[in-house]
Structures are given as structure tokens and as C-alpha cells.
Chain A
């Protein structure tokens, strides 16, 4: 059974800092990995999706990397801002085959607070 772990559970940083969020998974047979952002009382918004054949994806100040063989992904946020405060979750999709595509497994998230 796939298990996804995110460390740290919570992180508080001053504005302007660069930071790294970690995601690890136990089964390396994944199809892709996604990073999401969730604001309080809201749904999840997909930030970055990395296919299993890719090493990283970038969007603005966000960079996500994937090391499938070691079961790890990191989300790097550059020059953090108070507006980045949210919960960040990663999720893995199992490797292609049958209908298992649907069974995404989520980590429990990292609560990020960026203070002015």
C-alpha cells in the first residue's frame, strides 16, 4: 500500500526566505506526482505536476523536483511572501495499468506560515 509522508508538518518563516517542503512515498511505481495548495476552508489547487519520467517542473517562484528511485519530491518556494501561507499537499498517482489511475494517495500536508 502506497504511503505518502510530508515533512515538516508545519513551517513558519519570515517573508523573503527561500524554503523547501518535502514529500516521500513508499512505492516508487508511480505515474506522476502533484503538488497542491489548500487555503483554509477552500478546495485544493494544483500547483505543479511532475511525470515519472521528469526530474523537475517550474512555475514562477515554485520548483518541484522528483527522485522516483528514492521515493522523494521537494517543493522549493523562492522569496516567500505572506500570500504563500497555506497548506501544501503532495499526491502520487500509481503507475499506468487498469483503472488504478484513479487511486491518488495524498500526504497529510505541510502548513506554511509566512510572516511579514
Chain B
């Protein structure tokens, strides 16, 4: 049972470089989310999607872009990485309200920006 899979698991970037984090889920969930987790700040929502082809901003969207071209995939892009984006990134998915809203998380991506 794969659930929510994130790639890569670790990445080191230099300031100004770009990268894409991939999230894939095999549970046919409508909703998908990208969070970042920082010490003392907890989990903060970056962007989320309520269905294929739709995305919305969360609490801390600046410096990130997302795309949901296929229902099972949710991509998080950093166009020009900054040291402030050093964090652990988590993807999650769920059914919409009324269909069971438990969130299922991936195992995270540890990103360091030097």
C-alpha cells in the first residue's frame, strides 16, 4: 500500500537554484496539500488543491508554485530557492468533507538551501 509518496527525500540546493518536489497518491483523493514544518513554527500550509486542475494559496505561498495536472499528482516548485526555504516539506491528501476527511501524509522531503 503506497499511500502518499514524496520524492525526493533529501535535497541540497544553492541559493537561486530551482527544483520541483513531487507528490503522488494512489487513494483517488480529491484534496491534496503541501505543508512546511519548521522548529517553533509548526506545520504551515503552503498551497492546496481541491481537485484536478485547481490550486489555492495557503498561509505561506510566497516563493512557491504548484500544479495539479493529474488527480494523483501535486507538484511543488521553487523557482529561485532562498535559505528561508530550508525546511521539511510534507504532502498530504484527503477526501473532501462528507467523504471522510482524514489526512494521509507522505514521509517528507528534507530541503536545505545554502
Which residues of A does B touch, CB under 8 Å?
31-32, 34, 36, 41-46, 49, 89, 91, 93, 96, 99, 101-109
Q: Of all chain A residues, which has the CB nearest B102?
A: A46
Q: Of all chain A residues, which has the CB nearest B33?
A: A102
User: Judging by beta carbons under 8 Å apart, are B31 and A43 in contact?
Assistant: no
Q: Total number of A-B contacts with CB less than 8 angstroms?
A: 69
Q: How far is the CA of A49 from the CA of B101 in the complex (A)?
A: 8
Which residues of B does A touch, CB under 8 Å?
4, 31, 33, 35, 40-45, 48-50, 54, 56, 58-59, 90, 92, 96-97, 101-108
User: Judging by beta carbons under 8 Å apart, are B107 and A42 in contact?
Assistant: yes
With A42-B107, A108-B42 given, is the CB distance from A93 to B102 under 8 Å?
no
What residues on A are CB-neighbors of B90 within 8 Å? 43-44
What residues on B are CB-neighbors of A46 within 8 Å? 102-104
Partner of A34, one of B41, B103, B106: B103
Could you show 6 A-B contacts with beta carbons less than 8 Å apart? A34-B103, A44-B92, A89-B42, A99-B56, A102-B49, A103-B58
What residues on A are CB-neighbors of B49 within 8 Å? 102
Kindly provide the distance from the CB of A12 to the nearest chain B CB, expressed in whole angstroms: 19
User: Judging by beta carbons under 8 Å apart, are B105 and A44 in contact?
Assistant: yes
What residues on B are CB-neighbors of A106 within 8 Å? 35, 42-44
